[in-house]
Chain A
Amino acid sequence: MGPDEAEGELGALMAGYLDGRLDAFDGLYAALAGRLRGYLTSLCRDRALADDLLQDTFMQIHRSRRTYEPGRPVTPWAFAIARHVYLMNRRSTGRRVRLEDGVAAETTRRDVPRDAAAALADGDALRRALDAVPAEQREAVVLHHVEGWSFAEIAARLGIRVNAAKTRAFRGMKKMREHLAKGPR
């Protein structure tokens, strides 16, 4: 299924959800939860926290469902809410983020498409390399190389220029490569 088709399907589910259909919410959850969980995990690097934030994200999606504009892509809207939930949590708790063993492997095995999972990989080395990348660049790397977003979509969601999104992803990947080239320490 292409990105446009997938968005069309999500849009139809969103329309049903706005009409008050619980099965549409179930469909939306099934379609988005995995990717949102992977995204939240990449931000907070804590699997248990990401699960909590995922539930908060869907509650926030529910509360603000009327802000979805029919005809527009659902994914950037949902991811923007997820990011907000993460930032609010980080602000309110001031919690130190930590990465549990096997987060990437667990997330990709359960939730994200296999080709995306391959990009994230499940090795410690790759996880550590991703960990070494500054947060802004890591976000661009995950959104582009794992979630498959275009640079235009990333730019629109982060409120930056397309070139800045490309630069962040490029520099993030470069840092990861450098980190991997150094080998395990």
Chain B
Amino acid sequence: MAAPETLRDEVARDLAPARPLARPAVRSLALVPIALAILVGVPALHRLRYDLLAIGAFRAFGLSAIQAAVGLAIVALALRESIPGRALSKPVLAGAFAAGILVPLGVLAITMQVSLLGPLPGEWFEVGAACFRTSAFAAVPAIAVAGVLVARAFPLRPGVAGALYGLGCGLMADAGLRLYCEMSAPRHVLLAHGGAIAAATVAGMILASVVEKKRRRA
């Protein structure tokens, strides 16, 4: 079966050699410098958490590094999802989103064992809003880079790919935030920190969907 002339001509007009994209896991490494910048930058721009000595190096830096690595792994899954024919199965998707919820909760539980600080009465909203803002801003560059990486592929379910990279970037941003914010009161962490992760997830989903819609129209 031969290709129709019109199709053949159109392909021939734009048949420059094309270099295949690297594997998703390799491409996700482009976000390592951003993850490191968040982990170093957030406490550098503000300060290290006051209870650093009380919780120790592992509970502070170790857990943040683990959370950032999980975030990076979820971004790698988003990059895999954006390759045709490599869509993630429902169990893998469920696992990724479960990890995005359970990892910060686990980090909170471990940290709470030795330090349980909360905002002063009357300051819950102010402190929560500050944490939400810091985390959301920290996630922006990571979401932008992940968005470009996904858009360079061909996400067939852009909403899914976007939600995944938004979640991954939200986790990375929160990993940096918790090196600055010493509050471990569950209400604060769930609403402010968890809210920022959820917002990053939604932002990624919207961004990927909009980009894909524009690309289809182009």
Task: Identify which of B11, B91, B216 contacts A161 (C-beta below 8 A).
Answer: B91
| B45 contacts the other chain (CB 8 A) | no
Q: Mark A63-97, 1 if CB is under 8 A from B, else 0.
A: 01111111011001111110110001000000000
- Least CB separation from B12: chain A residue: A22
State in angstroms the CA–CA spacing of A119 and B156 once bound together. 30
Known: A34-B1, A79-B85, A111-B1. A22 touches B154 (CB 8 A): no
- Least CB separation from A162: chain B residue: B89
Number of A-B residue pairs with CB-CB distance less than 8 Å in the complex they form: 107
By the criterion of a CB under 8 Å from any partner CB, how many residues of chain A are at the interface? 42
Which residues in A have their C-beta under 8 angstroms from that of B82?
Answer: 67
Asked if A22 and B15 make an inter-chain contact with CB atoms under 8 angstroms apart, the answer reads yes
Q: Mark A133-166, 1 if CB is under 8 A from B, else 0.
A: 0000000000000000000000111111100000
* Size class of the contact patch on chain B: 20 to 34
Nearest CB of chain A from residue B10's CB, rounded to whole Å:
7
State in angstroms the CA–CA spacing of A59 and B204 once bound together. 28
Asked if B88 and A77 make an inter-chain contact with CB atoms under 8 angstroms apart, the answer reads no
Known: A29-B3, A33-B1, A62-B11. A159 touches B18 (CB 8 A): no
Which residues in B have their C-beta under 8 angstroms from that of A30?
Answer: 1-3
| B21 contacts the other chain (CB 8 A) | yes
State in angstroms the CA–CA spacing of A83 and B84 once bound together. 10
Which residues in A have their C-beta under 8 angstroms from that of B84?
Answer: 64, 67, 77, 80-81, 84
State in angstroms the CA–CA spacing of A68 and B153 once bound together. 9
| A121 contacts the other chain (CB 8 A) | no
- Can you add 17 more A-B contacts, CB < 8 Å, to A34-B1, A66-B20? A22-B12, A25-B11, A25-B15, A29-B2, A55-B6, A58-B3, A58-B11, A62-B11, A62-B14, A64-B153, A64-B154, A67-B21, A69-B21, A80-B87, A157-B87, A161-B90, A161-B91
4 closest Cβ pairs, A-B complex:
A76-B85, A77-B85, A80-B84, A80-B85
